[in-house]
Amino acid sequence: MGSVTWGSGSAVPERRAPGAPPRGPPLLSPAPARPYGADMCGIVGYVGAQSAQDVVVAGLKRLEYRGYDSAGVAVLADGGLAAARKAGKLLNLEKELKDRPLPGGNTGIGHTRWATHGGPTDANAHPHLDNAGRVAVVHNGIIENFAGLREELAGRGHDLTSETDTEVVAHLLAEAYSSSGDPAEAMRQVCRQLEGAFTLVAVHADEPDVVVGARRNSPLVVGVGEGEMFLASDVAAFIAHTRDAIELGQDQVVELRRDGVTVTGFDGRPADVREYHVDWDASAAEKGGYASFMLKEIADQPKAVADTLLGRIDGSGALHLDEVRIPPSVLREVDKVVVVACGTAFHAGMIAKYAIEHWTRLPCETELASEFRYRDPILDQRTLVVAISQSGETMDTLMAVRHAREQGAKVLAICNTNGSTIPRESDAVLYTHAGPEVAVASTKAFLTQLVACYLVALYLGQVRGTKWGDEIRTVVRQLSEMSGAVERVLGTMEPVRELARSLASHDTVLFVGRHVGYPVAMEGALKLKELAYMHAEGFAAGELKHGPIALIDEGLPVVVIAPSPRGRSVLHDKIVSNIQEIRARGARTVVIAEEGDEEVVPYADHLIRIPATPTLLQPLVATVPLQVFACELATARGNEVDQPRNLAKSVTVE
């Protein structure tokens, strides 16, 4: 059951299910080697005139993409503090609150967790309280020195009942507040004692109109309303109430009251913050009539692609990437580009390599961010590192960025989340304009990452003079036609959905492609793994004969991404041979081919048509059927597509 506590004094009357044993005597169990932290989570705080429980739970709903292993809420009311926590999805917490509503109050905090250490149990769920039940805290991160702090607290008579690091913070805050009588000062004192990564939001029953927060690493944004204030990991949590936001910087503490916000550093000095207006509205973070966020985000892609080009091309067709604040003189000196990213963003980076090398003649490597710094890469002032991340929070990518900058390289981030950590720590950023991506599996962010990569490659070509103005204008025109091409693909997806349903009972699907079709194959396989929980692999078609072809068995579905027969027709000839090899071994071929490509027809058991595009731009259309395929197949298998098992949207651990 979820724990619901209600404290209005020093003792904490405990509510428990009928027949459940009372809580045992104070006990300090041995500290686990690693704390049961909450490394990747969504956190929300509210102070205002509305029901805090309602605002916080609605905010958590918008943040559930950040983790859905457990959820909890705490509310200040009638001089006390009440909390509820439940393992599992937010729905479980909502049921708990329906059965046992918390007392009405206007100040509260909440949390949704993705567990890394420590099972997703009620006990490990946030908020965590001090012994008196006067302080509640939610936390995103890992407190590395928690074991020592825990022992010290036990030595001072505190009764720590959970194995989480967060509980330590609740106790420390209670102590610090009892000596300072100031919630923000208490938070600063505690933050100065903590080591590791921690973004915290807390309330104290003695301060019914105050929420305090602290940021180190994971993001924390203030939402500024009329007579109400919000605090959250992501603006999506409060966008239904306000679009005015303040982004907190590293090592800052914020105190929220209904009518004001005070931000200081951990040292108490006033701090600089960035105020901004969110340029999308609540409907962008709603399903808008679609069965899932993923379906909606797939459908959003034509607009996302067009929006990412918006304002970046002038009337003459030349590129203006004003945000790229790396001076052209520095870009002209670059002698190597390294792209770092993870997962789907890595696949965008693989495609970027083809475009950058082709259009700029600069050597370009694309590297998994998680591997990058461990192999001692060769970087210097003449290296341009391009870091691609939808969330801007992926720890592997952030660490790669930090490593690159330490070596003197310039870092350009391609990111979808305004003000997130990776762009903040980079030399420049090119934002993708996908709008909020809520479904855990990335779709529209990927297409916009591709557009941004093409823009960066062309811009480098423009600045370095490796592309003539008219060549750039031609590609820019082709790029601006891609939104319509994606729209056309979306209009022809019924046979893909039918095919997906017919393959729902298969165990394995392989994907093959050549050139930019190879990363597309990998992306198709990744979507299928994460959504349908099937064995899926993407191969370079030429590699099949070097081993993987042994996997092919009678009836095995193999999806082939055929390059355009125009332009580099040698690639096309090769893939036609590859399809024949696969088919000769019994595979059931699903061929994604350009309209008018008749050569593949005899070898395709299923043919999926995409519009004709220039070779390098083909991934923008070829990926779309694979997204639809994975989404439909996963649905046919009874899986929940927005929240696939074991995953979270922002991976803020290495």
Residue ranges binding ligand F6R (CB under 6 A): 342-345, 389-391, 394, 397, 441-442, 526, 530, 650-651
3-state helix vs strand vs coil in the chain, percent to 5: 40, 25, 40
Helix boundaries (H) for 263-342: 293-299, 301-309, 328-333
Spell out the residues 6+ positions from residue 523 whose beta carbon is closer than 8 angstroms to its own.
344, 347, 446, 538, 623, 626
Cβ-contact 51, 104 below 8 angstroms: yes
The answer to whether the peptide bond before residue 127 is cis (omega within 30 degrees of 0) is yes
Residue type (1 letter), 427: D
Smaller CB distance to ligand F6R: residue 200 or 340? Answer: 340
For tokens 């990363």, name the residue.
519
Going by DSSP bridges, is the β-strand pair 383-389/336-341 parallel, antiparallel, or unpaired? parallel
Smaller CB distance to ligand F6R: residue 138 or 648? Answer: 648
How far is it, in rounded angstroms, from Cα 589 to Cα 564? 18
Smaller CB distance to ligand F6R: residue 207 or 642? Answer: 642
Smaller CB distance to ligand F6R: residue 199 or 391? Answer: 391
Residue nearest to ligand F6R (CB): 343
Q: Which of 41, 364, 415, 453 is catalytic?
A: 41
Residue 649 annotated in active site: yes
Q: Which of 86, 353, 444, 649 is catalytic?
A: 649
Going by DSSP bridges, is the β-strand pair 252-257/211-216 parallel, antiparallel, or unpaired? antiparallel
Q: In what order do the strands lie in the sheet with 383-389?
A: 364-368, 336-341, 383-389, 410-415, 428-431
Greatest Cα pair distance, the chain, in angstroms, is 81
C-alpha to C-alpha distances, 132 to 178, 234, 333, 451, nearest whole angstrom: 12, 31, 62, 54
Smaller CB distance to ligand F6R: residue 213 or 343? Answer: 343
Query: What backbone phi and psi angles, to 5 degrees, belong to 353?
Result: -55, -45
Smaller CB distance to ligand F6R: residue 366 or 391? Answer: 391
Residue 388 is inside which H or E element, if any? strand 383-389
Closest to 445 (Cα-Cα) out of 561, 307, 559: 307
Query: What backbone phi and psi angles, to 5 degrees, belong to 67?
Result: 160, 145
Q: 10 Å Cβ neighbour count for 198?
A: 26
Residue 46 is inside which H or E element, if any? strand 40-47
Residues facing residue 539 across a β-bridge: 512
Minimum distance, C-beta of residue 387 to ligand F6R, in the bound complex (Å): 9
How far is it, in rounded angstroms, from Cα 58 to Cα 71? 12
Smaller CB distance to ligand F6R: residue 264 or 391? Answer: 391
Minimum distance, C-beta of residue 345 to ligand F6R, in the bound complex (Å): 4
Minimum distance, C-beta of residue 640 to ligand F6R, in the bound complex (Å): 15
Smaller CB distance to ligand F6R: residue 12 or 413? Answer: 413
How far is it, in rounded angstroms, from Cα 353 to Cα 491? 30
Minimum distance, C-beta of residue 440 to ligand F6R, in the bound complex (Å): 6
Minimum distance, C-beta of residue 369 to ligand F6R, in the bound complex (Å): 8
User: How would you class 21 by CB atoms within 10 Å of its CB: exposed for 0-12, middle for 13-18, buried for 19 or more?
Assistant: exposed
Minimum distance, C-beta of residue 617 to ligand F6R, in the bound complex (Å): 21
Q: Dihedral angle at the C-alpha atoms of 343, 344, 346, 348, nearest 10 degrees?
A: 180
Minimum distance, C-beta of residue 453 to ligand F6R, in the bound complex (Å): 13
Minimum distance, C-beta of residue 388 to ligand F6R, in the bound complex (Å): 7
Residue 41 annotated in active site: yes
Minimum distance, C-beta of residue 404 to ligand F6R, in the bound complex (Å): 15
Smaller CB distance to ligand F6R: residue 252 or 449? Answer: 449
Spell out the residues 6+ positions from residue 625 whose beta carbon is closer than 8 angstroms to its own.
489, 493, 496, 592, 608, 610
Smaller CB distance to ligand F6R: residue 218 or 564? Answer: 218
DSSP state letter for 109: E
How far is it, in rounded angstroms, from Cα 491 to Cα 95? 39
Dihedral sign of CA atoms 360, 362, 365, 369 in order: negative
Cβ-contact 66, 84 below 8 angstroms: no
Minimum distance, C-beta of residue 641 to ligand F6R, in the bound complex (Å): 11
Catalytic residues: 41, 649
